Amino acid sequence: MHEFLEKSLFQEVTEHSSFDLKISKWKASLGIPHYTIKTYHVPTAMVTEVNFETGGEIVGITPNHTELFVSLFHTRPLEDDDIVHELLHVKYPDLGEDEINIKMDEILGSKINKQFKSTKKST
């Protein structure tokens, strides 16, 4: 996410929602509970694709590691993989997209495998 994004253009998501709980859970799980994260809904009309068409999707962050503050911008409801991906960028600011995606797959893959195993035992 680029530093030029002006937060005042977007609506801060202030109501408590299911993704607030997910963000808190994943912050703790990834060992970064000390960061404050504000989420902002971005209208799709403000997202321009490579071909200059508007209406695209975006999920991204602007972290401030000095103040332990993160702005998370999104055009759609946040899923676990969105949250984990963006929080991994916070935890590992020097890693590129490919490395972040590998870590995300490892984390979510192990979580999914554990859920599958516990579901299988109970049936």
**How far is the CA of 19 from the CAs of 13, 15, 24, 56, in angstroms?**
10, 10, 8, 21
pTM of the model: 0.75
Domains of the chain plus CATH, in order, are 7-122 (3.30.2010)
Phi, psi of 93 (to 5 degrees): -65, -20
Question: Long-range contacts for 42-50 (Cβ within 8 Å, ≥24 apart)?
Answer: 42/10, 42/73, 42/74, 42/75, 43/10, 43/75, 44/75, 46/9, 46/10, 47/75
Condensed to tens digits (0 to 9), the pLDDT of residues 27-81 reads 999 999 999 999 988 888 888 877 777 788 889 999 999 999 999 999 988 889 9
